[in-house]
Amino acid sequence: MDWEYWSQRLVEEELVENGGYNEYGTSGVGGRAAGVNGNGPTKLVDPLEDPVPGVGTYEDFNTIDWVREKSKDRDRHREITSKSRQSTVALLHSVSDAFSGWLLMLLVGLMSGALAGGIDISAHWLTDMKEGVCLNGFWFNHEHCCWTSNETTFQERDRCPQWKSWAELITGATEGPFAYIVNYLMYIVWALLFSFLAVTLVRAFAPYACGSGIPEIKTILSGFIIRGYLGKWTLIIKTITLVLAVSSGLSLGKEGPLVHVACCCANILCHLFTKYRKNEAKRREVLSAAAAVGVSVAFGAPIGGVLFSLEEVSYYFPLKTLWRSFFAALVAAFTLRSINPFGNSRLVLFYVEFHAPWHLLELAPFILLGIFGGLWGALFIRANIAWCRRRKSTRLGHYPIIEVLVVAGFTALLSYPNSYTRMSGAELISELFNDCSLLDSSQLCGYQQPSNISETGVGNTLADRPAGPGLYTALWQLALALVFKMMITVVTFGMKVPSGLFIPSMAVGAIAGRLLGVGMEQLAYYNHDWIIFKGWCSPGADCITPGLYAMVGAAACLGGVTRMTVSLVVIMFELTGGLEYIVPLMAATMTSKWVADAFGREGIYEAHIRLNGYPFLEPKEEFEHNSLAVDVMRPRRADPALAVLTQEGMTVGEVESLVESTHYSGFPVVVSQESQRLVGFVLRRDLLISIDNARQRQEGVVSASQVVFTEHAPSQAPDAPPPLRLRGILDLSPFTVTDHTPMDITVDIFRKLGLRQCLVTHNGRLLGIITKKDILKHMAQIANRDPDSILFN
C-alpha cells in the first residue's frame, strides 16, 4: 500500500479519481469528480417520489452501513418477488435474479482460474528467460523447449540442444568461468529489467497494485470503501507486474497477490449484475468468495481456500457465502487444472507423497519447528513493520524505483551462486518437500549408495541411509539460503511491487525443517540404539522423512507470520491428501501461533492495517477494557453540545450553516432542542445532496424555507415559502445504546451488525454519538498507541 500516495490524497485532495465504484474506478487516471453517482432508489427515499440521485451512496474512504445495505437488498428482493406474480417476464427476471449469484460465482471461478493459469505460465517462461532462450521459439520455457527433444531421462532432457544459455548464445562457451560470469551478468540484467518494469508500471498506472493486497481486502471486506482498489486498471497492472516481480527473482510469492487478482475479477464481474453492482454488502459477499478463489488457485486447495477466507480475510461470512465460495473455488481449481500450468495434471502446487508414517516421538522436533516458526513470525513482523515505518518517515520512501532496483540487484547478485536461492521459491519448496527415492538425482538426496548397507535393509529400498558428500554440500547451501531468505524478505515485503508472503515464509520454514529433518535422520541412523529411537528406528527402517519436516516447518513459519491455523492445516492436508499428517501440522501451527502471540497478537496483515491506519475493527480480538459507552461517546464533557437538527422549526439556511460549521458525517434529528428525544438520523451527504437538488429543481425553496422531518408538514403562515420535506432521507431506525452500556457490548454490536455509528441515550434523552472511528481511537488509546493513527472515516 502506498502510504505516500494516500496521504497526498488526503491532504491535497488532488488525486480523487474520476467516476466511482460504479465504473469500477480508474485509480491514478482522470481528474476531479463530483462524487455523485447515479445509483438507483434506496430505502431511505420515499418510493413515491423520484429518488434524488446520489442519496444512499458512499464517498471514497468511508465506511458502509451493513444494516442499511442488507435491508436495501431485502427490499429489492421483495419487490422482485411481488412483481414476479404479475407477468412472465417478471417471473423470469425473478428466477434469473435468484441464480445470478451462482452464475457470478461461475464467472469469477473461470476468470480467476484462467488468469492464474496465465500468470503461472508467463512467470515460468520469464523466470527461465533469465537463464537462457529456446531456439525453437523464444516463447518456450526451458521445460517446454526440451519436450520435443530425444533425451529421455530427466537429467539429460534438462540439457537439450534447443535450449541455449545466454553464455552459449553470446559467446558460444558452455562451460568454464567465462560462461559462468556471462550467465551471472545476464541473470542480474534480466532481474533488474523485470523489477524496473514492474515498479514503473505500478507507479505509472495503478499505485494500488503494489503489495499483497490482503490487508486492504480485509479492510474493504469489513465495510470500508477504497475506490479503484479493485478496479480494472489495478487488475491489468497487477497481473502484468506480478509476473514481472516473480520472474525478477525477488524474494516474494504470487499467492497473496492472486487473492487480490481474484477479488478484482469479482468486483469487475459484479458490474454485470444490478444486484451486486448497486449493493455494497452483497458485493462484499462476492469478494469474500473471491478471496477463497484466490487461495484455491494459488495452492490448488479449494477447501483450504474457503477456510482461509473464513478464518483470515472475511468479516461477514454467512452460510450462503460458504456454499458459493466453495463452488467458485472448485470451478477455479478445475479451470486451472485444465490449463495445467504445472504440467503434471495435478491440481496442487506442491504434490507430496510420503512413504513412511511418523512416530509419536517425532512430535518433539515438530513442536521445535513450531517454536522456530513462531519466533521467526514475531521477528519478521517486528522487523518488517520497523522497516516500513522507516520507509514512510525517512527519505527512503521517496525513491521507490531505486529501492526496488537495489533490492532486486542485490537479490540477484547473492542468489545466483547458490542453486537453492537461484531457483524460484515454489521450486525450492517443492524440492524440499520431496521424499527421496532411490533413483532421485537431486543433491538433497545425495545419500551413500545403499549397496553397502543392503544386508541390513533387505527389501526396504527407502531405508534411512548415511549422508554422502552431495548432501553435506546441499546442507551448507541450504543454511546460507536460510540466512539470506530471512534477511531479504524483510526488506522485500512492502516495496512498490506486487509481493506475496506465503512462498518466502514457507521457504524459510521448509529450509529449517529440512535441515532439522536430515539432522534427525542422521542422528537416528548413527545412534539407533539410543532409547528414544529403539523400537521404531532400527537399522534398515525408513523411519524419518526429511520432506515431512520441511512441510511441517513451512506450515509453522507461515503460521507464525499470518497466524492462520485451521486453514493452513487444511491447505497442507489438501497437498498431501493424508489425514495422517494433520497431527504434526496441527502441533506445529498451534505452537507457532502461541509462541508468536506471546510477542504480539497481530499477524502481518493486521500489523500492516494498523501501520496504514485503516479503520478496521478486528473481529478476532476481544475488547477487554471495562469502559462504558459514556466514556467513548462524543461530545466529551468539556466539548460543546452535540450538533442536532430538530424535526421542525429549522430553516434551510440554518441547516446549511450548521452542516458547514461542522465536519460530522451525520446529524441526529430530535423532537425539540429542549426534550432531546430522538427521532432519527440523517447523513450529511444525503442532506447536502437533497438540499442542492431541491434548490435547483423544486420551486420556491430558499434559505428561509422550513426544513421538515415530520410526516405531516406543520401549518405555516400563508406567505411563507414552501417547506422542504426531508423525511425521505431520514433514517427512522437509528441504533441506540444507553450511556451505561459497557463498551465490550457496544463493540460487539458494532462488529456483528457492521454499524457505522450508534447514538447514546440516557433515560430516553439523546446524549451523544459513537462512531467506528471513536471506538478505534479508544482502543488505540487503551493500547497506549497514538489515537490519531486512525486515519479515515
d(CA 225, CA 236): 20
Interface pick for a second copy out of 753, 780, 782, 791 (rule CB under 8 A): 753
d(CA 768, CA 676): 11
Site for a second copy in 76-95 (CB under 8 A): 77-78, 81
Kindly indicate which of the ranges 67-75, 175-183, 236-244, 496-504 contains the residues binding a second copy, using the contact rule CB under 8 A. Answer: 67-75
Q: How far is the CB of 581 from a second copy (least distance, A)?
A: 11
- Say whether residue 542 binds a second copy (CB under 8 A): no
Q: Which is nearer to a second copy, 507 or 682 (CB)?
A: 682
- Say whether residue 626 binds a second copy (CB under 8 A): yes
Q: How far is the CB of 612 from a second copy (least distance, A)?
A: 23
Q: How far is the CB of 708 from a second copy (least distance, A)?
A: 15
Kindly indicate which of the ranges 70-78, 277-285, 374-382, 554-562 contains the residues binding a second copy, using the contact rule CB under 8 A. Answer: 70-78
CB atoms near residue 758 (< 10 Å): 24
Q: What is the DSSP string of 587-600?
A: HHHHHHHHHHHHH-
* Size of residue set near a second copy by CB under 8 A: 74
For a second copy, what does the binding mask look like between residues 399 and 438, x meaning CB under 8 A?
Answer: ----------------------------------------
Q: Which is nearer to a second copy, 19 or 742 (CB)?
A: 742
Kindly indicate which of the ranges 21-29, 504-512, 697-705, 758-766 contains the residues binding a second copy, using the contact rule CB under 8 A. Answer: 758-766
Site for a second copy in 31-50 (CB under 8 A): 43
Q: Which is nearer to a second copy, 457 or 603 (CB)?
A: 603
Place of cell 524459510: 508
- Say whether residue 736 binds a second copy (CB under 8 A): yes
The Cα-based distances of 347 to 117, 344, 427, 574, 758 in angstroms read 12, 8, 16, 10, 48
Cβ burial 326-342 (10 Å sphere, 16+ → b, else e) = bbbbbbbbbbbbebebb
Single-letter residue type at 747? V
- Say whether residue 306 binds a second copy (CB under 8 A): yes
Interface pick for a second copy out of 4, 75, 427, 648 (rule CB under 8 A): 75
Which contiguous run of DSSP H or E holds residue 707?
strand 706-708
Interface pick for a second copy out of 355, 534, 697, 740 (rule CB under 8 A): 740
For a second copy, what does the binding mask look like between residues 670 and 709, x meaning CB under 8 A?
Answer: -x---xxxxxx-----------------------------
Q: How far is the CB of 711 from a second copy (least distance, A)?
A: 10
Kindly indicate which of the ranges 32-40, 65-73, 268-276, 398-406 contains the residues binding a second copy, using the contact rule CB under 8 A. Answer: 65-73
Q: How far is the CB of 267 from a second copy (least distance, A)?
A: 24
CB 518 within 8 A of CB 475: yes
Q: Which of 713, 695, 770 is nearest to 738 (CA)?
A: 770
Q: How far is the CB of 394 from a second copy (least distance, A)?
A: 37
d(CA 781, CA 786): 6
Q: Which is nearer to a second copy, 319 or 641 (CB)?
A: 319
CB atoms near residue 712 (< 10 Å): 8
Place of cell 497473496: 256
Site for a second copy in 445-504 (CB under 8 A): none
Classified as helix, coil or strand, 279 is coil
d(CA 699, CA 695): 7
- Say whether residue 228 binds a second copy (CB under 8 A): no
The C-alpha cell that represents 300 in the structure block: 490448488
The C-alpha cell that represents 459 in the structure block: 527389501
Q: How buried is residue 466: exposed, middle or buried, by Cβ count under 10 Å (0-12/13-18/19+)?
A: middle
Q: How far is the CB of 636 from a second copy (least distance, A)?
A: 20
Q: How far is the CB of 356 from a second copy (least distance, A)?
A: 15
Kindly indicate which of the ranges 8-16, 19-27, 457-465, 669-677 contains the residues binding a second copy, using the contact rule CB under 8 A. Answer: 669-677
The Cα-based distances of 727 to 82, 433, 647, 708 in angstroms read 26, 65, 9, 7
- Helices 566-576 and 546-562 pack at an angle, to 10 degrees, of 150
The C-alpha cell that represents 328 in the structure block: 467458485
Site for a second copy in 583-622 (CB under 8 A): 583, 586, 590, 619-620, 622
For a second copy, what does the binding mask look like between residues 264 and 303, x meaning CB under 8 A?
Answer: ------------------------------------x-xx
d(CA 446, CA 434): 13
Site for a second copy in 312-341 (CB under 8 A): 319-320, 322-323, 326-327, 330, 333-334
Dihedral angle at the C-alpha atoms of 130, 133, 134, 139, nearest 10 degrees? 60
Q: How buried is residue 694: exposed, middle or buried, by Cβ count under 10 Å (0-12/13-18/19+)?
A: buried
- Say whether residue 734 binds a second copy (CB under 8 A): yes
Q: Which is nearer to a second copy, 137 or 577 (CB)?
A: 577
447 beta partners: 467
Q: How far is the CB of 357 from a second copy (least distance, A)?
A: 10
Q: How far is the CB of 668 from a second copy (least distance, A)?
A: 11
Q: How buried is residue 697: exposed, middle or buried, by Cβ count under 10 Å (0-12/13-18/19+)?
A: exposed
